[in-house]
Chains A and B, each alone.
Chain A
């Protein structure tokens, strides 16, 4: 054992900042189903600050159940089971019976860093969630950030939780998780979630090589001077083979514009396929022995960096356009306005990121280049800070709100390093989605597109397209809304067939309201009249009777907790839409409604 930090393996993903955010969060779980406790388990383990469990169920004690050894058939929840530890003959410690209390107890055992508590309610259907949330925040020691997970609840309860979270003084992110037989879903609700450290898997470096373009509006003098100080021709061969590709590309751009005996003068960077090929050949011609100079091979491989500009994501540019002094509500808004003004005085360029990728190079050249980028980034950051201070002064003279939107130097620095990775998610509320029957034409088209895309993919089995199963689940909800229980309650053949017929009716109704009656995939699956598929989706949904299958609960619980981690740490891009796991064929998809 060479380290003593039990969080080591996750710190390598989200760092100390992410861990701090986790430790300052409070997760409220509503509904102690298996999907609910599994979600919470995956959050207690990595070290959230605290959790609070709300439930209305009673757990039958093992002694009351005389059916013997086979009763474990009904267990599908690892953290909720009759409490045999506290059972005593003299009755001094009566066995726990509240599901919330039992779940809270067993989840707390997972990590001594996490404080667990619970609320028993007579019924989740008419609990006063706003006041429970309020009492949770007031009783928790630190100012914990709330996040709510709602597990395996019917639409009517979800709607009221959705509304409370959406309208809370500071909206509470909500994760809705559900397992239903071999199907499961996860959905996120957050009016606005912004991410600075989205940590994309691969992203091109911000090198500003176009500073060597004759018409470049913005110049990077220190880089230009450094590149000019190097004369490739005068270098001895070992050094020539250890000039970083970044410098080679700069030299190539210069040559591209100036021309020489073998190359015509150009006025614009390569655009067409032919021009790009010419540019590549130009790089090769600069090498002394292309097969042996790794750095020139890298330059050819990375030639695109010379003529492509790194862009800020479209939705962030939109935000920048909309932000103004009157709408500074959060530190993120303040940072956006600062960025907007910075770009205005810097020819639309954001602050330099300041890091360069590894490349074949001598240590010396590489360190010098690294220093040039780092220094420029530092200068840009200082200019950002000045602009930000200016805005803050303006704000405080306008209104007397002082420091409501403070940004630390560290935050500013992280922001500058991530300007290209900024991300924002706005979801619909669950309540409004539940009325997606009245989807706009645009949404209908999107859904049509999603559905047909699956039939073009040779790997997909169209019948197993997760969205079809999502529609079938909606039909089960409609059934529950009407009858107060899910279809398939009565195991007798005729009863199952009769429930399935009703579900099929709901499927047809939903398909019609979604405007999908003419969709070829829908016609050949959900609405099929062929013998082998007629009512098949409705029958399968009825077969399940909302069965709690632990494995399905654990899959969606895993997704739910992962999304919760992303929402809490404000790192990584959360999903926007509904994740549907089809455990029949092992296929999953994410759909936005």
Chain B
């Protein structure tokens, strides 16, 4: 016993139950296995999103037949791995390219001070495998984009705890494209791998279920995640009013001017101090209060506040859905649960709509009306800035119009960029757009000229 232990002895005179049974029997209770072994009036097939029939089974290792991928070993990932271990799902792979940072320790509870600098995926997997000897967690320290389709095909369910939109879009597109369609365009159920996606910001978060080609996909509801707002350049350069404007000036204008040959390293204390001091100078010049090192870090790295509790809520909601998707023991979240906890607790569950012309999960050809004088470059820019939010599109019509890769092809097609569309394509011509945001698929786009 530790010295802090205190043993309290009570007289035991109280009785809680009416008929005198000892109270300790309330402690005896069922487990997940109990639920899996019993039939239910609310099993999966009775819900709004039926995908399978629950067969009550007393088999204890029923969940060991499945293989689950956890994408991200950060705030959500650590929780998700623990939840999978506690749900008795032993076959798990986890992938993350990051190393452990000291600022992770307030919530990423599988990591300790000594682990700072090590691979998140590896340390997390090791911790879980040691604490829970029945677990077989395989770590992958690297980028999700470096794994091929066969890797993703090998899982029964993918749980994503990512912190950025770009990776989510890539994963969504990759998994949606694993679905085989028959001649009528109907998906082959065997090839549908559910994605359960979680995200948090401060005291808010969301959990959603994506059944590729059945429910909406991440891309269908991309507008729920508006692109990050940046400060207008003229404000930053000419009329700064807030400390953030001074910081933006230091890292977007002063740093590249001072160090034209290298990029700002946001993990380097030297670089960050430099930015901070420049921002401080500028704020003094304009008499703007409030530039601090902490704020500088926040603005430059676009830091999103994160706490343990929100991560726990969202991760657990995600793994709960995964267990139900794998065993059919209960209904499925249809399809999106939002949660906000900063004033009271608010929760809302709703069906996120499938988009008819979703570039990832529909075969629809989009139509676009443009001026015939628009250049190819302007068209590409509008595809980057518009609702499609492409990253670096390549275009093919009847001929190859512009290809980002390989370099030789890029060079050969580059002259097209400044040509007017009317000189490159016919009115109504269907273009095929490919983009690294949509791996393994392309997007049809018919161009009509304004008259």
B68 within 8 A of A: no
Interface string of A71-83 (1 = CB under 8 A from B): 0111111100100
Cα(A543)–Cα(B350), bound, Å:
27
Contact B106 A489 (CB under 8 A): no
B21 within 8 A of A: yes
A101 within 8 A of B: yes
- Name which of A45, A118, A461, A579 has the most chain B CB atoms within 10 A of its CB: A45
- Name which of A123, A199, A558 has the most chain B CB atoms within 10 A of its CB: A558
A3 in contact with B297 given A486-B26, A555-B317, A586-B320 (CB within 8 Å): yes
List of 10 A-B pairs having minimum Cβ-Cβ separation, nearest first: A586-B333, A484-B21, A554-B316, A558-B313, A550-B86, A558-B312, A547-B30, A545-B30, A117-B4, A156-B16
Contact B106 A46 (CB under 8 A): yes
A327 within 8 A of B: no
Contact B40 A2 (CB under 8 A): no
Interface residues of B in 82-98 (CB under 8 A from A): 82-83, 85-88
Contact A128 B8 (CB under 8 A): yes
Nearest-neighbor residue (CB-CB) of A76 within chain B: B86
Contact of B339 among A536, A543, A588 (CB under 8 A): A588
Contact A550 B303 (CB under 8 A): no
B257 within 8 A of A: no
Contact B86 A34 (CB under 8 A): yes
With a CB–CB cut-off of 8 A, which chain B residues contact A91?
none
B428 within 8 A of A: no
Nearest-neighbor residue (CB-CB) of B62 within chain A: A73
Contact B8 A584 (CB under 8 A): no
Cα(A361)–Cα(B238), bound, Å:
10
B37 within 8 A of A: yes
Interface residues of A in 38-76 (CB under 8 A from B): 38, 41-43, 45-47, 56-57, 69-70, 72-76
A17 within 8 A of B: no
28 A-B pairs within 8 Å (CB atoms) are namely: A2-B267, A2-B297, A3-B103, A9-B103, A10-B305, A45-B105, A45-B106, A73-B32, A73-B60, A116-B4, A117-B4, A122-B10, A125-B16, A126-B12, A128-B8, A139-B6, A482-B18, A483-B17, A484-B21, A543-B34, A544-B30, A551-B83, A558-B309, A559-B313, A559-B341, A573-B343, A586-B209, A587-B349
Interface string of B278-307 (1 = CB under 8 A from A): 000000001110000110011000010111
Interface residues in chain A, defined as those with a beta carbon under 8 Å from any beta carbon in chain B:
1-13, 34, 38, 41-43, 45-47, 56-57, 69-70, 72-78, 81, 101, 110-112, 115-128, 131-132, 135, 139, 154, 156-157, 160, 181-182, 198-201, 242, 358-363, 366-367, 459-461, 464, 480-486, 488-489, 491, 496, 532-533, 536, 539-540, 543-555, 557-559, 561-563, 565, 572-576, 579, 583-590
B241 within 8 A of A: yes
Contact B307 A76 (CB under 8 A): no
Cα(A487)–Cα(B350), bound, Å:
32
Contact A586 B337 (CB under 8 A): yes
A74 in contact with B11 given A117-B2, A491-B37 (CB within 8 Å): no
B48 within 8 A of A: yes
B359 within 8 A of A: no
Cα(A7)–Cα(B400), bound, Å:
52
A546 in contact with B25 given A2-B266, A554-B315, A563-B345 (CB within 8 Å): no
Contact of A549 among B21, B31, B107, B132 (CB under 8 A): B31
Contact A358 B14 (CB under 8 A): no
B65 within 8 A of A: no
With a CB–CB cut-off of 8 A, which chain B residues contact A544?
30, 34-35
A70 in contact with B60 given A9-B103, A46-B106, A358-B241 (CB within 8 Å): yes
B23 within 8 A of A: yes
Cα(A146)–Cα(B222), bound, Å:
44
Nearest-neighbor residue (CB-CB) of A480 within chain B: B26
Nearest-neighbor residue (CB-CB) of B17 within chain A: A484
Cα(A583)–Cα(B32), bound, Å:
13
A46 in contact with B8 given A12-B303, A559-B341, A562-B313 (CB within 8 Å): no
Contact B116 A573 (CB under 8 A): no
B308 within 8 A of A: yes
Cα(A92)–Cα(B403), bound, Å:
72
- Give B371 Cβ to nearest chain A Cβ, in Å: 21
Interface footprint category on B: 35 or more
Nearest-neighbor residue (CB-CB) of B112 within chain A: A109
With a CB–CB cut-off of 8 A, which chain B residues contact A121?
7-8, 10
Known contacts A139-B4, A154-B26; 16 further A-B pairs (Cβ under 8 A): A45-B308, A72-B134, A135-B6, A156-B17, A182-B330, A484-B22, A485-B21, A545-B30, A546-B29, A549-B35, A551-B316, A551-B323, A554-B86, A554-B313, A585-B47, A585-B332
Cα(A13)–Cα(B200), bound, Å:
13
Cα(A585)–Cα(B311), bound, Å:
20
Interface residues of B in 177-204 (CB under 8 A from A): 202-203
Contact B102 A536 (CB under 8 A): no
- Give B108 Cβ to nearest chain A Cβ, in Å: 9
Contact of B14 among A8, A10, A120, A126 (CB under 8 A): A126
Contact of A242 among B207, B239, B315, B351 (CB under 8 A): B239
Interface string of B131-152 (1 = CB under 8 A from A): 1111000000000000000000
Contact B40 A540 (CB under 8 A): yes
Contact B323 A548 (CB under 8 A): no
Contact of A127 among B10, B287, B334 (CB under 8 A): B10
- Give A554 Cβ to nearest chain B Cβ, in Å: 3
With a CB–CB cut-off of 8 A, which chain A residues contact B8?
119-121, 127-128, 131-132
Contact B239 A362 (CB under 8 A): yes
Cα(A26)–Cα(B37), bound, Å:
41
With a CB–CB cut-off of 8 A, which chain A residues contact B342?
199-201, 572-573
Interface string of B206-224 (1 = CB under 8 A from A): 0101000000000000000
Contact A1 B85 (CB under 8 A): no
Nearest-neighbor residue (CB-CB) of A129 within chain B: B8
Contact B307 A10 (CB under 8 A): yes
Contact A182 B6 (CB under 8 A): no
Nearest-neighbor residue (CB-CB) of B203 within chain A: A562
Contact B132 A547 (CB under 8 A): no
Cα(A1)–Cα(B404), bound, Å:
34
Contact A363 B35 (CB under 8 A): no
Nearest-neighbor residue (CB-CB) of B128 within chain A: A78
Cα(A27)–Cα(B142), bound, Å:
39
Nearest-neighbor residue (CB-CB) of B346 within chain A: A590
Contact B309 A565 (CB under 8 A): yes
Contact B316 A552 (CB under 8 A): yes
Contact A1 B61 (CB under 8 A): no
With a CB–CB cut-off of 8 A, which chain B residues contact A120?
5, 7-8
A9 in contact with B305 given A558-B313, A562-B341, A587-B337 (CB within 8 Å): yes
Cα(A131)–Cα(B109), bound, Å:
33
- Give A190 Cβ to nearest chain B Cβ, in Å: 14
B407 within 8 A of A: no
Interface string of B229-264 (1 = CB under 8 A from A): 000000100011110000000000000000000000
Contact A363 B330 (CB under 8 A): no
A558 in contact with B310 given A75-B86, A548-B31 (CB within 8 Å): yes
Contact B337 A73 (CB under 8 A): no
